[in-house]
Amino acid sequence: MRILISIIRFEPGRTLGSEVYLSSLLDGLSKVMNKEEIAIVGSEESCGWGELFNNKINWIPAKIPRSAVGRMIFEYNNVEKIANNWKANVVFFPFNIMPSMKIPSTLLIHDLVNEFYCKHFPRFRPAYFRFLRRLVRNSIKKPQSIITISKAIAEELNQLNLLNVEQQVHVVSLAANRRINKEQRPEHLPQGNFKIILQSGAQLPHKDHLTGINAFVELKRNYPNIYRDTKLILTGDINSDKQLKEIVRKQELESNVIFLGRLSPEELEWTMQNASIACFPTLYEGFGLGIVDAQLRKIPVIASDIPVLKEVSSGGAIFFESRNAKDLAMKIVDALVGKNDGIVKLTEIGTANVDKYSWEVHCQKVLSILKFTAGF
């Protein structure tokens, strides 16, 4: 059984979510591989990065253009030839898009966020999201089998009528990222004794960081004592969002809403370990990995009431009405000053929920689907 995995479009250091998934996949495969022969084709840089996580795999480095468009064209024109030369029985595409293949293939769909933007934020980078929506829709029609990371995405595929009758759809959940032993307090985090509300994510409209900030406006206005002792810590690429920073300045929240930017793994671990609440006001997710990461660390979770977050959290979270800053503020107050036994129960549910998710189980299921797709 010979499996080829294409990471031609992957570029280390560019997208944190892709790095997290691919490093976890590689590490998990190293533990569950048996008689399968696996090769990965990617850029020389990607292959060098990947070998750090799995040295049991055959690496096929290729001279690939650096631009995103160039990488895509290279994949579309060359991956089937590479698969044939390596005598692959099946090809796995782990990042939403793939070319037409005569060889059996499997595509992993992480989300359909392009559909979400075209419908709910049609003026935000419209050409980009419409182009990606077309690419993903065309890709979904091509493989024999599709993997999604949540039931919510599988249902979305059905609702949008994007599947062929003969295609097999498999739901394979992600897993929490393991705690790291070394922690480091972020250099730019203010000193002092205060409670941390952690809100992470990219500077994109669907993450809805504005609702989290507006919740702090409500806390300042109606719960000054709680506001005084609490800080909203924003991490990730959101650090460069000038519009959000201007809103914080106008509302005079600078001392309580802190933009830390993208943190190192050690800094993020420290921030998570010291957070009183992990907050997820997001409007759309394919899975919601941050929730499971927080549950692993026994951090109370407050999340928007979208279906996928309810699915992934298994009830181990406090939910608020999406885009409702007043409701979010109330939930923060309840979590910080409410009855402690309620929070303890939530963290217990969250801890039990984490046990359902495992990268080794994820990789074992992916291998089984690839074997099934190839006819083994």
Quick check: is 148 in a domain? Answer: yes
- Whether residues 275 and 302 share a domain: the answer is yes
Per-residue burial over 117-147, b = 16 or more CB atoms within 10 Å of its CB, e = otherwise: bbeebeeeeeeebeebbeebeebbebbbbbb
Residue 233: CATH number of its domain = 3.40.50.2000
- Whether residues 328 and 368 share a domain: the answer is no
Quick check: is 229 in a domain? Answer: yes
pTM over 0.85: yes
Confidence check: pLDDT of 239 > 60: no
- Whether residues 63 and 170 share a domain: the answer is yes
- Whether residues 129 and 70 share a domain: the answer is yes
Do 18 and 68 touch, CB atoms closer than 8 A? no
Quick check: is 339 in a domain? Answer: yes
pLDDT band, very low/low/confident/very high, at 17 (cuts 50, 70, 90): confident
Quick check: is 185 in a domain? Answer: no
Domain limits at 367?
2-175+358-374
3-state secondary structure of 122: coil
Which of 179-188, 224-233, 234-243, 302-311 is predicted with the least confidence, judged by mean pLDDT?
Answer: 234-243
- Whether residues 210 and 133 share a domain: the answer is no
Q: How far is CA 292 from CA 2, 61, 197, 200, 371, in A?
A: 33, 34, 16, 14, 29
- Whether residues 23 and 166 share a domain: the answer is yes
**For 123, phi and psi rounded to 5 degrees?**
-95, -5
Q: How far apart are CA 207 and CA 283, in angstroms?
A: 6
Quick check: is 184 in a domain? Answer: no
**Which pLDDT score, from 0 to 100, does residue 16 have?**
72
- Whether residues 216 and 345 share a domain: the answer is yes
pLDDT 10s digits, 225-236: 999 999 999 998
Calculate the dihedral angle through the C-alpha atoms of 327, 330, 309, 27, rounding to the nearest 10 degrees: 140
- Whether residues 364 and 349 share a domain: the answer is no
Q: What is the mean pLDDT of residues 62-70?
A: 93
Quick check: is 269 in a domain? Answer: yes
Number of domains within the chain: 2
- Whether residues 154 and 85 share a domain: the answer is yes
Q: How far apart are CA 233 and CA 210, in angstroms?
A: 13
Q: How far apart are CA 275 and CA 297, in angstroms?
A: 10
Residue 171, sorted as left (phi over 0), alpha (psi -120 to 50) or beta, turns out to be beta
- Whether residues 10 and 157 share a domain: the answer is yes
Quick check: is 186 in a domain? Answer: no
Do 370 and 3 touch, CB atoms closer than 8 A? yes
Q: What is the mean pLDDT of residues 256-263?
A: 92
Confidence check: pLDDT of 340 > 70: no
Which of 73-87, 88-102, 261-275 is predicted with the least confidence, judged by mean pLDDT?
Answer: 261-275
pLDDT band, very low/low/confident/very high, at 238 (cuts 50, 70, 90): low
- Whether residues 230 and 160 share a domain: the answer is no
Q: How far apart are CA 180 and CA 296, in angstroms?
A: 12
Quick check: is 295 in a domain? Answer: yes
- Whether residues 28 and 170 share a domain: the answer is yes
3-state secondary structure of 195: strand
